[in-house]
Amino acid sequence: MAAAGALAAAAIGLVALVLGLGGVAGSAWTVVVDWLVPLGGLELTLDPLAGLFLVLVGGVALPASFYAAGSAERSARGALAYPVFVASMCVVPLAANTMTFVIAWELMSLASYFLVLHEPEERASVRAAWVYAVMTHAGLACLLAGMLLMGAWTGSLRFADWRAAAPGLGAGARGVVFVLLAAGFAGKAGVIPLHVWLPLAHPAAPSHVSALMSGVMIKLGVYGLLRAGLDWLGAGPAWWGVAVLLAGTVSSVIGVLYALVDNDLKKLLAFSSIENVGIILIGVGAGMLYHGAGLEGLALLALAAALYHTLNHATFKALLFLGAGAVVHATGTRNMEAMGGLIKRMPWTAACFLVGSAAIAALPPLNGFVSEWLTFVALLQNTRIAQPMLNLVFALGVAGLALTSGLAMACFVKAFGITFLALPRGDAAARAHEAPPAMRAAMVALAVVCVALGLGATLVVPALVTVAGALTGDRAPVAVGDWLTLGVSGGFATLSTLAIAVALGAALALPLIALRLAGAARGQRRYETWGCGRMLQTPRMECTATAFADPFRRVFGFFYRPEKRLDITFHPGARYFVQRIEYANPTRSIFDDWLYRPALDALRSVAHRARAIQSGSANVYLAYIFAALLLLLALA
Amino acid sequence: MTATANLLAFLGLTATLLLVWRQSWPARLRLFAVQSALLAVLATAIGVLAGKWALLGVGAVFLVVKAWVIPRVLWRIGAGAPVRPIAPGHSSGIALLVAGVLVVAAYVIMLPVNRATELPTEGGIPLAFAMALIGLYLCVTGRDAFGHILGFLVFENGIFALAILATYGLPSIVEAGVFLDVLVVVLIMEGVVAQVRREHASTEEARLRELRG
């Protein structure tokens, strides 16, 4: 049953991939089925941007579904929700009117809700699903309000009509709609401070679902932002771009800070998704600002960088989640403190995870490096806008992006190192086994795509520039270098990942060849790791995940506000001997403490007061209805 | 036509007022059946006089559902309860007074409608609306589950009469849907009342309060 669902999803993914590639290549069509959906019928339109996101859905759904089909878990739970989830994600980018969009969007949310509620017996799982449902529906409320307002003001619920009518709307009206839509989409994208559902929901869901949620679903929030900010409402005032850019900066820095100190492998990846959405939004915000300032070449560059990072994050985050799933499956825990040494037991998974980690840490010549480089290059040319305040915003973006890149590197050194290197820290890790072939194949496929997207940058970037051009309505060709070298903005910067790959390969191979030529001894010696001269080496001597993150916890103490919990049990005989020490150093979320907790408390107190009208008497309830009816009739 | 419609609507309202006045539930049930039968005649009469033959069918179905099936179900709901609520201090005086006020209110609220329409049946519209309002009032002040259900049904009858008088009946599909809804509501209420009675040995309003969560 579960395998059938996964295969159905794979088939849907394949169709989406083919259609999406066609869309990116320039094919366009519209399908209208009037009777299927009320208020305008079902209307699907393929354009380059929709095509790109279809590629994203299909490209991740395909390996994730094979992974699911090949995983040993044979529970029927989610067998229906999973293909529905994939199918609804395919419809979202194609939707061409409000009803189609909202139905697909809600179907996607509901299906993923059921998938998050994977283990309904566990409290954490139920809570994660609950928080997810609340946040996603709060977002839907914002979206609906924005879309219906736009519908009322333009007299149509079709997106194509909005496009035509938007320039005629007042600045205030467009601003209101933009804020509502942006809030709804940002919630889905996991932009801080609307991110709270993400680190709960991703670990709770099965790994192939986490891969899709993180790789694709939150990207549909980015898709919505792109549509709202550049397409449906036309080019907006500068503050739209500033808001998106700053939100992206804050999300990227805070996301990676949280990722750095979390010891739950899947939670770490979830926080890292927040960071990467931040990076994407930095690109989107910059694109909006350039577009508003009339610098079309730079706008296309920044948007292409954002789209590139969207594509890249989908591949490497899906890869990492699938890898994490294999690890969790093998060890039975998500706690990194209980892992270690898995590289020896699970070499395939480790190799794939390493590729994903290197890519997400933006190491050349992999794909993450190219998109972050493009984002930097786009941001650094902000001096062509002669407005000091905007330049300051760009500078903040550059600084945030730089800090994020560094911290992300540390974060994935930790993720890979603590999980896969050194000695196993627990029995489960010591007894871990490699993932089944189908799961390995899925991971290898995604790893290959990561490498290909890095090495093939000179092919990908022109395609993405075309997609961005179709979005902003600027179809003038932009030169982005030749087949070997990316060269942007008329030689402002150049990059050749192929050359870097060759150079790195040569740097690795040449010494070996030189040694061989020099006649060095070829014998291998195996010896245990140097242990500072100690006789005994045990896993307890290893650096733990907490210890690795400790320097960051201290440096950013003002943000983490860590608590120190020291619990010492003394020997009953003499207090000078310690029997047991327990040390915990949990961080506190400022968003929980300062934003959500007070808001929830206020809501609860209002609800408590509102209980007064709930007397329990049916007469009184009916009287309310009667009174309301009479009042309405009298007013009518 | 005007005279027939006005007369039947007036008789319907009289039945409603009697319903407010009477205390014993079998009598109220009979009055409800009478009111329903009057409205079925109203629908048939308007159907004949206005040449809307579909209304004849509606009238027939209305007669079967409201004057026969539902009273039978209500009889089952009421069976076993004391004929008159033994509650000193309750008289119908205040209730009748309020019903009178509601009739006036119905006329006031329907003034703009009457001004806007030129139908031969417009004289009956405020009467039908008063029936609906009084039904809702009965529903609000019902002392037990039976009273609530009866009030709801009278309210529904009022709405039906309003529809017949104001638009010569709704499209048949809507009427059919409404009949089915009402029937289902009554059947469900029968189940609920049986359940409540089993739990509390009474369906009095004061005891229903204990169901509060």
- The complex's ipTM works out to 0.75
> B147 and chain A: CB distance < 8 Å anywhere?
no
Alpha carbons within 13 A on the beta-carbon side of B90: 13
Q: What is the pLDDT of residue B204?
A: 66
Whether residue A463 is found in the same domain as residue A568? no
Tokens of A342: 């898995």
* CA closest to A620 among chain B residues: B140
**Chain B interface mutation, best of A611, A621, A622, highest count of B Cβ atoms under 10 Å:** A622
A contacts of B209 (beta carbons < 8 Å)? 615-617
Give the C-alpha separation, A419 to A423, whole Å. 10
Cβ–Cβ < 8 Å for A359, A497:
no
Contacts for A476-482: CB closer than 8 Å, 24+ residues apart: A476/A296, A478/A297, A478/A300, A478/A301, A482/A458
Count residue pairs from A and B with Cβ separation < 8 A. 35
- Which residues have a Cβ under 8 Å from the Cβ of B188 and sit 6 or more positions away? none
Percent of chain B with pLDDT over 70: 91
A contacts of B109 (beta carbons < 8 Å)? 633-634
Q: What is the pLDDT of residue B207?
A: 62
**Integer angstrom CA distances of residue A116 from A119, A129, A210, A265, A351:** 8, 6, 9, 17, 28
Give the C-alpha separation, B128 to B167, whole Å. 13
DSSP A594: I
Per residue, the 3-state secondary structure of B156-177, as one string, reads HHHHHHHHHHHHCCCCHHHHHH
Does the beta-carbon distance from A619 to B141 stay under 8 Å? yes
Examine residue A304 and state whether it is found in any structural domain, yes or no: yes
Tokens of A324: 């994490």
* Selection from A191, A207, A215, A193 nearest residue A56 by Cα: A215
**Chain B interface mutation, best of A624, A632, A633, A635, highest count of B Cβ atoms under 10 Å:** A633
Does the beta-carbon distance from A625 to B136 stay under 8 Å? yes
DSSP A541: G
Range 605-624 of A in CB contact (< 8 A) with B: 614-619, 622-623
> A529 and chain B: CB distance < 8 Å anywhere?
no
* CA closest to B137 among chain A residues: A626
- Closest CB to A626: pick one of B109, B137, B148: B137
Report the alpha-carbon angle A423-A424-A427, nearest 5. 150
Range 374-403 of A in CB contact (< 8 A) with B: none
Write out residues in chain A with pLDDT < 70, as ranges: 1, 72-76, 522
Return the H-helix or E-strand segment holding B181.
helix B172-200
**CA distance between the termini of chain A:** 56
Phi-psi region of A463 (alpha: psi -120 to 50; beta: other; left: phi over 0): alpha
User: Other CB atoms closer than 10 Å to residue A121's CB: what's the count?
Assistant: 6
Chain B closest CA to A554's CA: distance in Å? 49
The residue type of A477 is P
Q: Which domain-ending residue is among A504, A539, A573? A: A504
Give the C-alpha separation, A602 to B41, whole Å. 57
Per residue, the 3-state secondary structure of A17-83, as one string, reads HHHHHHHHHCCCEEEEECCCCCCCCEEEEECHHHHHHHHHHHHHHHHHHHHHHHCCCCCCCCCCHHH
Split into its structural domains, chain A has a count of: 2
Cβ–Cβ < 8 Å for A297, A38:
no
pLDDT in tens, B126-174: 999 999 999 989 888 887 778 888 998 999 999 889 888 888 777 777 7
Chain B closest CA to A43's CA: distance in Å? 30
Whether residue A381 is found in the same domain as residue A298? yes
Per residue, the 3-state secondary structure of A241-288, as one string, reads HHHHHHHHHHHHHHHHHHHHHCCEHHHHHHHHHHHHHHHHHHHHHHHH
Cβ–Cβ < 8 Å for A269, A328:
no
> A631 and chain B: CB distance < 8 Å anywhere?
no
* CA closest to B132 among chain A residues: A626
**Going along A358-477, which residue ranges are E strands?**
none
Chain B closest CA to A635's CA: distance in Å? 9
The residue type of A50 is A
Whether residue A592 is found in the same domain as residue A469? no
Whether residue A484 is found in the same domain as residue A394? yes
Chain B closest CA to A616's CA: distance in Å? 5
> B125 and chain A: CB distance < 8 Å anywhere?
no
Q: What is the pLDDT of residue A72?
A: 59
Supply φ then ψ for residue A528, to 5 degrees: -75, 160
Examine residue A407 and state whether it is found in any structural domain, yes or no: yes
Does the beta-carbon distance from A619 to B205 stay under 8 Å? yes
DSSP A228: I
Q: What is the pLDDT of residue B85?
A: 65
Chain A closest CA to B151's CA: distance in Å? 11
Q: What is the pLDDT of residue A610?
A: 87
B contacts of A634 (beta carbons < 8 Å)? 109
* CA closest to B113 among chain A residues: A636
> B141 and chain A: CB distance < 8 Å anywhere?
yes
**Integer angstrom CA distances of residue A57 from A10, A189, A280:** 11, 15, 17
**Integer angstrom CA distances of residue B165 from A264, B42, B47, B84, B112:** 70, 9, 11, 35, 16
Phi-psi region of A489 (alpha: psi -120 to 50; beta: other; left: phi over 0): left
Tokens 């409201």 correspond to: B66
**Integer angstrom CA distances of residue A108 from A42, A61, A202:** 16, 14, 15
Q: Is A141 exposed, middle or buried (0-12, 13-18, 19+ CB in 10 A)?
A: middle
Examine residue A452 and state whether it is found in any structural domain, yes or no: yes
> B110 and chain A: CB distance < 8 Å anywhere?
no
Phi-psi region of B42 (alpha: psi -120 to 50; beta: other; left: phi over 0): alpha
Give the C-alpha separation, A292 to A566, whole Å. 55
Task: Answer positive or negative: Cα dihedral of A345, A347, A353, A359.
Answer: positive
Q: Domain limits at A599?
A: 556-612
Task: Answer positive or negative: Cα dihedral of A18, A19, A24, A26.
Answer: positive
B contacts of A629 (beta carbons < 8 Å)? 136
Phi-psi region of B89 (alpha: psi -120 to 50; beta: other; left: phi over 0): left
Supply φ then ψ for residue B172, to 5 degrees: -55, -35
Whether residue A388 is found in the same domain as residue A467? yes
> A155 and chain B: CB distance < 8 Å anywhere?
no
User: Other CB atoms closer than 10 Å to residue B38's CB: what's the count?
Assistant: 23
Q: What is the pLDDT of residue A317?
A: 95
Chain A closest CA to B142's CA: distance in Å? 7
pLDDT classification of B208: cutoffs 50, 70, 90 = low
The residue type of A263 is N
* CA closest to A635 among chain B residues: B109
* Selection from A40, A519, A467, A579 nearest residue A231 by Cα: A467
Does the beta-carbon distance from A619 to B137 stay under 8 Å? no
Cβ–Cβ < 8 Å for B8, B41:
yes
Does the beta-carbon distance from A617 to B141 stay under 8 Å? no
Whether residue A591 is found in the same domain as residue A452? no
Whether residue A455 is found in the same domain as residue A602? no
What Rg do the C-alpha atoms of chain A give, in angstroms? 26
Whether residue A360 is found in the same domain as residue A498? yes
Whether residue A496 is found in the same domain as residue A574? no
Does the beta-carbon distance from A634 to B109 stay under 8 Å? yes
* CA closest to A626 among chain B residues: B136
Give strand pairing partners of A42. Answer: A33
Alpha carbons within 13 A on the beta-carbon side of B139: 22
Alpha carbons within 13 A on the beta-carbon side of B84: 9
Whether residue A365 is found in the same domain as residue A480? yes
Examine residue A113 and state whether it is found in any structural domain, yes or no: no
Whether residue A364 is found in the same domain as residue A299? yes
Range 2-61 of B in CB contact (< 8 A) with A: none
Q: What is the pLDDT of residue A131?
A: 93
Q: Is B212 exposed, middle or buried (0-12, 13-18, 19+ CB in 10 A)?
A: exposed
- Closest CB to A633: pick one of B109, B140, B205: B109
- Which residues have a Cβ under 8 Å from the Cβ of B5 and sit 6 or more positions away? B42, B45, B46, B120, B121, B123, B124, B165
The residue type of A44 is L
* Selection from B134, B137, B73 nearest residue B103 by Cα: B134
B contacts of A607 (beta carbons < 8 Å)? none
Give the C-alpha separation, A497 to A509, whole Å. 18
- Closest CB to A617: pick one of B105, B139, B205: B205
A445-466 burial: b if 16+ Cβ within 10 Å, else e: bbbebbbebbbbbbebbbbbbb
Q: Which domain-ending residue is among A504, A523, A548? A: A504
DSSP calls for A140-158 = HHHHHHHHHHHHHHHT--B
Whether residue A346 is found in the same domain as residue A482? yes
